[in-house]
Amino acid sequence: MNFDFSDDLKQLRDQARRFLSDQCTSAVVRRSADGQELFAAELWREIGAMGWIGAAIPETFGGAGLGYEGLCVLAEEIGRVVAPVPFGSSAYLAAEAILTAGSDAQRREWLPKLADGSAIGCFALSEGSGNPEPGAIHARAVGGYLKGSKWPVADGGIAGICVVVARDESGQPGLFLSDLAGARRRNLKTVDPARNHARLDFDAAPVEKLGGGWGSVQRVLDRAAILFAFEQVGGADACLTMARDYALDRYAFGRPIGSFQAIKHKLADMYVALELARSNAYYGAWALGADATDLPLAAATARVSATEAFELASKENIQTHGGIGFTWEVDCHLFYRRSKQLALGIGSAPFWKHRLVDLLETRNAA
């Protein structure tokens, strides 16, 4: 049994952690959160140059070929610093969709640009309220032209390439590719302003088919769920550390508040949720690397667990801080906001819980 990352990947994780703690400070996150910039472009250029975005993209398509476990390790570090970059949209969604469903020509054209960060990818799935299911897709591509509205699309306002979920001529939902020429974009105000979100209106905008039906969409979502889970684990870990440090520093009634059981037990519960989520995410990392048959169930489990852990940790981190935690100046709210952004991005907790039980039933029936 070796249920841990390799020493090489642990080294990569340590390097990433050091780099991001220097380069992705709270001040950098706040430039996006305060609306001074749409994303941290300089940071994005650097992580592209280091090969992170293309960690799981094969070298033949310009990636670093580190494999999925490498991408998981990086996702955790991106989550730890609430990085204001389109990492998930480009690496977990757009690149994955093109790898999964694209032709060789499409892969050769787009993956190298996504890998080095010169093109930002986004994934246009939602059409307003509702969860990712075929019935919620109304956008339609006819004769190479797409009509429909997609919102919210994470990083849709800064992307150069967009993977769109839409129906084809015969009404079957599947994956399409748009360079966003001919799409109207409107940046949206969201609960997490440190990440760009846009509404994309396609009115007969040119698209090309990526291939694959709803099965491919679900495959992309399943795989992304595991990577989202690592980002959530990173965020939850950061919240627990913040809350712990504050509980040691802050004195009330003549003693550190961390000596009160009300605080200790709260933090212990955050730790338990985090460890369960981390373990489930690890299994997902293995399933991604091995392309295991039970990947969908592993993904749903990791997603449910990680969403719960990050939501709990981010809200209880504010609570542990008390009044100061409710101010704009202290970073607690950046994590609280991001926890909801990650929780909703590819289908919310109830959606994944239902999917988990569907998969459990299928497995038990087999």
Partner 1 sequence: MDFNDTPEEAAFRAEARAFLTANAKPRAGARPVLRQGGLDADAVVRCKKWQAKKADAGFAGLTWPKRFGGREASPIVQVIWNQEENEFVVPRGLYEIGLGMCIPTMMAYATDVYLDRYVRPALRGEEVWCQLFSEPAGGSDLAALRTRAERDGGDWVINGQKIWTSGAHLGDFGIIVVRTDPNVPKHEGLTFFFLDMKSPGIEVRPIHQMSGARHFNEVFLTDVRVPDSQRLGAVGQGWRVSLTTLMTERLAVGDVQRPEVDDLVELSRRLRIDGKPAIQNAAVRERIAEWHARSQGLKFTRFRTMTALSKGETPGPENSIHKLVNASKLQDIASYGLDLMGAAGLVMDDDLAEAYAMFQSALLSSPGMRIAGGSDEILRNIIAERVLGLPPDIRADKGIPFNQVPTGRR
Residue ranges that bind partner 1, judged by CB under 8 A:
1-5, 69, 240, 244, 247-248, 255-256, 258-259, 261, 263-265, 267-269, 271-272, 275-277, 279-280, 282-283, 285-286, 289, 300-301, 304-305, 308, 350, 352-354, 356-357, 360-361, 364
Beta carbon of residue 362, minimum distance to partner 1 (angstroms, whole number): 12
Instruction: List residues bridging with 141 in a β-sheet.
Output: 146
**What are the distances in angstroms from CA 108 to CA 24, 59, 115?**
31, 11, 11
**What are the distances in angstroms from CA 149 to CA 109, 146, 286?**
26, 10, 36
How far, in Å, CA of 331 to CA of 326, rounded? 9
Residue among 176 and 352 whose Cβ is closer to partner 1? 352
Residue among 45 and 353 whose Cβ is closer to partner 1? 353
Beta carbon of residue 276, minimum distance to partner 1 (angstroms, whole number): 3
How far, in Å, CA of 249 to CA of 247, rounded? 6
Beta carbon of residue 264, minimum distance to partner 1 (angstroms, whole number): 4
Beta carbon of residue 324, minimum distance to partner 1 (angstroms, whole number): 19
Beta carbon of residue 19, minimum distance to partner 1 (angstroms, whole number): 24
Residue among 94 and 287 whose Cβ is closer to partner 1? 287
How far, in Å, CA of 258 to CA of 245, rounded? 9
**What are the distances in angstroms from CA 321 to CA 152, 250, 327?**
32, 9, 10
Q: Where does 218-338 show beta strands of DSSP type E?
A: 251-252, 255-256
Residue among 189 and 255 whose Cβ is closer to partner 1? 255
Residue among 140 and 244 whose Cβ is closer to partner 1? 244
